[in-house]
Amino acid sequence: MQWFRLLPIGRYMEARSFLHDSDPRSKLIFAAVYLSLIASSSDITSLFFFGFVTLVLVFVSRVPFAYLWHGLRGLLPLLLAFAIYHLWLNDNGEVSCSWGGIAIHNEGIKNALIVPSKLVFLIITAAVLSLTTPPAKLADGLETIMRPLSFIRFPVHEFVFIASVAFRFIPIFIDEADAILKAQKIRSTGIEGSFVRIKIHLLSQLLFALFVSAFRRAEQLALAMDARCYIAENRMRTSRLRFGWRDWIVIISALILLLIPYFEHFRAISN
């Protein structure tokens, strides 16, 4: 279960790169646009484009490919399960091949390629965003972007604070889950029963332990905030966010990505 501890989402990797030196607001805007395009795509040819953009993101972030691979390696069974699900149960389109009572359709093959690939692109993009942006700056950038919502009395600071705390707790819970899984691996030799029953028993213990740990840490955080008389309105920043030339490149890239679907639509109409 080493991959579980190396899951790249929620961790910050200190380095010097184009994305590390960019403003968190520009990275959040680009990530929102790019993730929306990935989620809404349904074409196999777009996978090559998204794969190229994702490789460029990893390259300019200087995040080692080996680090991302160690984190994604454990998701291979899940990706394989998605592919098998669409191959087996999707009955749309023409039949490509059949074996016995199992028929594989064109749409099933298409979705078996698209869905796992989109999931990989989403995870890598979120990982690059978290690895290149400290949680505090990420929260400041999100609060700045959402600030116009305060005019309709939306609790922007409280929402961003909750999201920031949840984001900071991701690597902590991953480490705790990895430690619990290792302890279960040592102690599970004395548990009797079928394989499925043992797995369900261990999973229930893991979830219960994580819930207890989450409530304990939440209580500790609440006590620490009360002891320091934390008030949302009196929060101050140690540094001010500033846009630079890198951020304009990121914003322009996001606009170009946003215009690509419209160009494709107009080209399809003209043809």
Would you list the domain boundaries of the chain? 1-133+240-260, 153-228
Which is higher by pLDDT, 212 or 98? 212
pLDDT band at 228 (very low <50, low <70, confident <90, very high): confident
Q: What angle do CA 114, 261, 92 make, to 5 degrees?
A: 35
Kindly state the tokens that stand for 130: 């978290």
First-to-last C-alpha distance (Å) of the chain: 52
pLDDT band at 202 (very low <50, low <70, confident <90, very high): confident
Kindly state the tokens that stand for 148: 């116009």
Instruction: Specify the DSSP class assigned to residue 238.
Output: S
Confidence (pLDDT) at 84: 83
pLDDT band at 6 (very low <50, low <70, confident <90, very high): low
Burial of 68 (0-12, 13-18, 19+ CB in 10 A): buried
pLDDT above 90: residue 196:
no
Which residue do the tokens 């606009």 mark?
255
- Print burial letters for 183-193: b (CB count within 10 Å at least 16), e (below 16): ebeeeeeeeee
Confidence (pLDDT) at 112: 84
How do residues 57-87 score in pLDDT, each as one tens digit?
Answer: 999 999 888 888 877 877 888 888 888 887 7
Contacts of 73 (CB under 8 A, 6+ apart): 3
- pTM across the whole model: 0.78
How do residues 123-142 score in pLDDT, each as one tens digit?
Answer: 899 989 989 998 888 888 88
pLDDT band at 237 (very low <50, low <70, confident <90, very high): low
Contacts of 216 (CB under 8 A, 6+ apart): none
Confidence (pLDDT) at 124: 92
Kindly state the tokens that stand for 226: 């009360």
Count of CB atoms situated within 10 Å of the CB of 25: 21
Question: Which of 201, 210, 203, 138 has the alpha carbon at shortest distance from 170?
Answer: 210
Identify the three-state secondary structure at position 120: helix
Between CA 27 and CA 246 the distance in angstroms is 10
pLDDT band at 230 (very low <50, low <70, confident <90, very high): confident
pLDDT band at 25 (very low <50, low <70, confident <90, very high): very high
pLDDT above 80: residue 99:
no
Which residue do the tokens 């009196």 mark?
234
Confidence (pLDDT) at 53: 93
